[in-house]
Amino acid sequence: MDAMVRELSYAQAIQEAMAIAMDMDERVFLMGEDIGVYGGAFQVTGDLVDRFGTERVIDTPISELGGAGVAVGAALTGMRPIFEFQFSDFATLAMEQIVNQAAKMRFMLGGEVSVPVVMRFPAGSGTGAAAQHSQSLEAWLGHVPGLKVIQPATPYDAKGMLLAAVADPDPVMIFEHKLLYKMKGPVPEGFYTVPIGKADVRREGRDLTVVATSIMVHKALDAAAALEAEGIDIEVVDLRTIRPMDKQTVIDSVKKTSRLMCVYEAVKTLGIGAEVSAMIAESEAFDYLDAPIVRLGGAETPIPYNPELEKAVVPQVPDIIAAARDLVRGVR
């Protein structure tokens, strides 16, 4: 392995990106609940307060609406805040500032201002935290012009996309699946960026395009590995950014495989899967389809506490395997 590349966890990769951003640019600072001495609810900020001090690693009161608004105001006037929500679910308390203010300010003021704020949202289920601490709300924000919404799936992307987000002149919302925080992967030292708005083909295949987001990228890759033995060859596209979406990569993939399945943890209806499917149906790739499009998403329910139910309401590897097999063999 290259000397410059280490194995870091997803959380460490984000922490390193924030440290680099703060080292490079004095305007960058962190705000959030318990991100200082506590190190953040998921230890993502860790010991950064020891390095950068409480002036640049600011513990806010439990005030999401106000806190997010303060970050927006600081971004509007020259600073580069990175605001951590303790759980993505608490974005609901701050929707006003995110949706009405951050997203629209540049537009409403005729391009006279910009709002280079970065917001981080620990998201998703699988930790037994029940209905108000397990949601996947990225499509809510993905629906708002003016915001950019990303879902890095690997430590490498988490670092590179965060650095791209800090450099971006517009508000960037980062959804980080909580179960990814401990996942390790190769991460180069130093500064690099991974572009916002570019999908990544994680695995090439002939028979079926699986468009996945966040943790589902890994589940789709596991499913693809399992199906290889059956002679089913799956292409896995990691969407990485849901707004603005990289349509071309998905279109090209579907033109090659002639089949499309979307896999995501958020509630199935009115979400990413609907968007990707409709985008394909509207594109030249539609004529290439050999089978109906399939969406695998979360069940139409809040996330339950009971661990078996919790697993049952989001797509798991066996679900992806079964659905992919049916789709390729023409059962559907």
Partner 1 sequence: MAGASKAVNDSRANLPFVYRQYNAEQLRNVLYKMYLIRRFEEGAEECYTRGLIHGTMHLSIGQEASAMGICMPLSEDDQITSTHRGHGHCIAKGAEVKRMFAEFFGKTTGYCKGRGGSMHIADVGKGNLGANGIVGGGIPIAVGAALSSKMMKTGKVVVSFFGDGANNEGAFHEALNMAAIWKLPVIFVCENNGYGMSTSTARSTAVKNIAERAAAYSMPGVIVNGNIFSEVAEASNKAVERARAGEGPTLIESKTYRHRGHSKSDRNRYRSKEEIEDWMSNRDPITLFESELREFGFIDDKGIEAIRGAVAQEIADGIEFAKASPSPDVRDTGDYVYTEQA
Distances (CA, A) of 2 to 15, 66, 183, 234: 21, 44, 20, 29
Smallest gap from Cβ 305 to partner 1, in A, equals 3
Q: Which does 299 bind (CB under 5 to 8 A by kind): partner 1, ligand TPP, none?
A: partner 1
Q: Between 62 and 281, whose beta carbon lies closer to ligand TPP? A: 62
Q: Between 91 and 251, whose beta carbon lies closer to partner 1? A: 91
Smallest gap from Cβ 305 to ligand TPP, in A, equals 15
Q: Is residue 64 annotated as a catalytic residue, yes or no? A: yes
Smallest gap from Cβ 32 to partner 1, in A, equals 11
Q: Is residue 133 annotated as a catalytic residue, yes or no? A: yes
* Contact present, 268 and 90 (Cβ < 8 Å): no
Q: Between 64 and 84, whose beta carbon lies closer to ligand TPP? A: 64
Q: Identify the active-site residue in 64, 235, 265, 310.
A: 64
Smallest gap from Cβ 5 to partner 1, in A, equals 30
Q: Which residues bind ligand TPP (CB under 6 A)?
A: 33, 62, 64, 86, 90, 93
Alpha helices by DSSP H, the chain: 10-24, 48-52, 64-76, 91-95, 105-108, 138-142, 155-167, 215-228, 247-257, 272-282, 307-312, 317-328
What pairs with residue 100 in β-bridges? none
Q: Half-sphere exposure (CA, 13 Å, Cβ side) for 155?
A: 21
Q: Which does 177 bind (CB under 5 to 8 A by kind): ligand TPP, partner 1, none?
A: none
Q: Which does 188 bind (CB under 5 to 8 A by kind): partner 1, ligand TPP, none?
A: none
Q: Which does 55 bind (CB under 5 to 8 A by kind): ligand TPP, partner 1, none?
A: none
Q: How many CB atoms neighbour CB 77 within 10 A?
A: 9
For residue 28, give the H/E element and its range: strand 28-32
Q: Which residues bind partner 1 (CB under 8 A)?
A: 33-34, 36-39, 41, 59, 61-66, 89-90, 93, 127-133, 299-302, 304-309, 312-313
> Which DSSP letter does residue 114 get?
-
For residue 61, whether the previous peptide bond is cis, meaning omega lies within 30 degrees of 0, is no
* Contact present, 106 and 146 (Cβ < 8 Å): yes
Catalytically active residues, by annotation? 64, 133
